[in-house]
Each structure stands twice: as C-alpha cells, then as structure tokens.
Structure 1
Amino acid sequence: MTESDITATDLNDRLTARQVVLIDVREPAEYAVERIHGALNLPLTTFDPAALPVGGDRPVVLQCGSGKRSAMALGQCRKAGVEVAGHLAGGIGAWRAAGLPVIRIDPATGAVRDVR
C-alpha cells in the first residue's frame, strides 16, 4: 500500500462521519449496476480533475472496481495540481470483501437492493 491508498474500513468510517466525498471513476453502466452509498460518478474515460468538488471541508477520495482506474485518476489529479485525499485500495472489490454494503440493481426486476 502507498500513502494515497485508503482501506475499505477507513473509507467506510470517513463516509459514515461525512468526512470525505467519494468519486467513482467507473463507467456509468458499472456504476448503475453496483455502487457504494453516496458515491458520485465521474467516469475515467471523460475524467477532468477540474470538475472535482475540491476546496470544501470534505476531501475527495477516488474509487473504481479494483483500484487501477482510481490510481490513474489520482495521477491525473496530481499532474493537474488538484489535491485529493487518495483512492480506495482494491476498489469496490475490497469494499465487498470487507463485508461493507453496496447498492445493486436486480437485473430481473430493476429493483434497487442494499447488499452486504
């Protein structure tokens, strides 16, 4: 892990305390199928660090499926001089592995489900 890596449990604690803004850099279809509660979607394919909600009282944390795309977005932010707190190490996969809840869409019914 690097200093910009944030664990799933640490991120959960920060989200629960409303201390961070979570940005999901996966594509809209991935985000629609499954996401972390409260995450905003800014896909990597059209990612613009200038569009991030930075400068407020809650720092930004980036997240993707495995940590690869969020690390790429983090690199883009650093190159652009936009400060973010880090990214979710292991992505939503690590989040699920930690037993933390996600929102999923049931493909058979379209129902929104809260899943652990």
Structure 2
Amino acid sequence: MLFDRKQSRHRELTVTQLAALLNSDQALVVDVREPDEFISGHIPGAINMPLSQFRASQLPDPGEKLLVLSCAAGRRSAMALDKCAAARAGIDTHLAGGFNAWRTSGLAVET
C-alpha cells in the first residue's frame, strides 16, 4: 500500500499548552481571522493580521516569546504558516482547533 509519508512542518499547540505559555508571558498570538471575526472575540492580547492581507514580513517581532498563529479552526492559520515557510520566516506554530477550541475550553475571551 502506498501512502504519503510527508510530515507537516506545522507545530500545533493545544489550548492548554498555549494558555500556559500566555500565563507565563512566553507566547505572542497573531490571529489571522478577518477583522469582524476578531472584534467579536479573540484570545486576550492577540494581534490581528487577517489572512487576506497576510505578509510574513509584517509579523511583529516576538522577542524571546514564541509566535503562535491562530484562526477560527486551524485551516487559515495553517495557510498562513505555509506563507511563512515560503518566505522563510521561521514561524511554524499554530493553535490546534483555533479560536473555536479556545472558546469551547472556557478560557478568557477579549472583545
């Protein structure tokens, strides 16, 4: 049986892992959803950079923090990670399940 053994270059964090990193000030979240989605609720402290206008070169400098991309469910953040890889930006991490998983977990939401 033949199958594609290609490994994803995307690292995924769980909601619990991201919450722990944020609580210890070790992560910066960039939300790639559109502005109307972001305004309706987002992970506290997240920065909005919509995928429709996303440029890896415009990502903020996270300093010593881990830069983590997020979207609604994980698809758009994975697309943004592909753009980061193409630009050789060195960003490879996103939130598994996106903001939907965050909200479902009952963690704080900023509006």
5+ residue gaps, structure 1, are 105-116
Aligned residues: 104
User: Which residue in the other structure is 1:24 paired with?
Assistant: 31
Counterparts of 1:90 and 1:18 in 2: how far apart (Å)?
A: 21
Root-mean-square deviation (Å): 1.7
Higher strand share: 1
AA aligned to 2:12 is D
Q: After TM superposition, give the deviation of residue 54 of structure 1 in Å.
A: 3.5
5+ residue gaps, structure 2, are 1-7
Q: Does 92-101 or 15-24 show the bigger shift?
A: 92-101
SS in 1 for 2:77: helix
Relative contact order higher in (CA < 8 Å, ≥ 6 apart) = 2
Moved over 3 A (4+): none
TM-score of the superposition, structure 2-length normalised? 0.86
1:75 paired to 2:82? yes
Counterparts of 2:101 and 2:108 in 1: how far apart (Å)?
A: 11
1:11 paired to 2:33? no
Q: Is residue 67–residue 88 contact of structure 1 (8 Å, CA) maintained in 2?
A: yes
What per-residue deviation string (whole Å, max 9, x for no partner) do you get for residues 60-109 of structure 1? 100000000001001110111001250000001111222211124xxxxx
Q: Is residue 54–residue 84 contact of structure 1 (8 Å, CA) maintained in 2?
A: no
